[in-house]
Amino acid sequence: MEFPAVFLVGYLMLSCFAASSFGVTFSSLHKTLIVSASSPLGHVLKAGEDELTIKWEFNQTFPPGIDSTYKTLKLKLCYAPESQKDRPWRKTVDDLKKDKTCQHMIAARPYNPSNNSFVWKVDRDIPSAKFFVRAYVFDGQEVEVGYGQNTDSSKIFDLFTIRAITGHHASIDVASVCFSVFSVGSLAGFYYMERRKGKISQRK
């Protein structure tokens, strides 16, 4: 049995009103956005160096007008289940005010239904973990009214890994190697000079 579009629109608007009155749960939101995230480097990125291209648009399978209350959009970096295990500070909670899944803000933009793209250079303070990208849309009262994400509902596919900055730099490695070579060379030279002095002393 199919419901007319007007009833679906009314239901969604009623859900939005209820959310603004009693608090928003993730399960109450509809996936009205299509989101993708990609990088020419594949699915492993370095914090502070690599870039991620994020694209989003309104899901045209929903009736027109459902997004009439959408005002702003926020892109967030979210932890995948694998990187949430045994970490309660990253726990997923249905109540969005208590949810710890998406802790890292990527960008905020006015809502536009199509042709949206943003290139994000991974922040330097992002920890090593597996992630996905989620976009939330907000109404004029800054209440979440819809979402989209680049992974499936089980958060298994299209995940990417970010490797944190370790403070270990190539210049330090080069300096360490040079110092080691210099030390070995100095030790060998010292040993050679001592043996030469010993032979000269024996001749006398």
* DSSP per position, 26-88: GGGS---EEEEEE-TT-SEEETTT-EEEEEEEE-TTSPTTGGGG--EEEEEEEE-GGGTTT-G
Does residue 21 have a pLDDT over 60? no
Query: Which of these, 5, 17, 33, lies nearest to 146 by C-alpha position?
Result: 33
Does residue 37 have a pLDDT over 80? yes
Over residues 137-154, the pLDDT tens digits come to: 999 999 999 999 999 999
Mean pLDDT of 13-29: 69
Q: Residues 114, 137, 64, CA angle at the centre, nearest 5°? A: 50
Over residues 61-99, the pLDDT tens digits come to: 999 999 999 999 999 999 999 999 999 999 999 999 999
Looking at every residue in the chain, the average pLDDT score rounds to 84
pTM score > 0.75 for this model? no
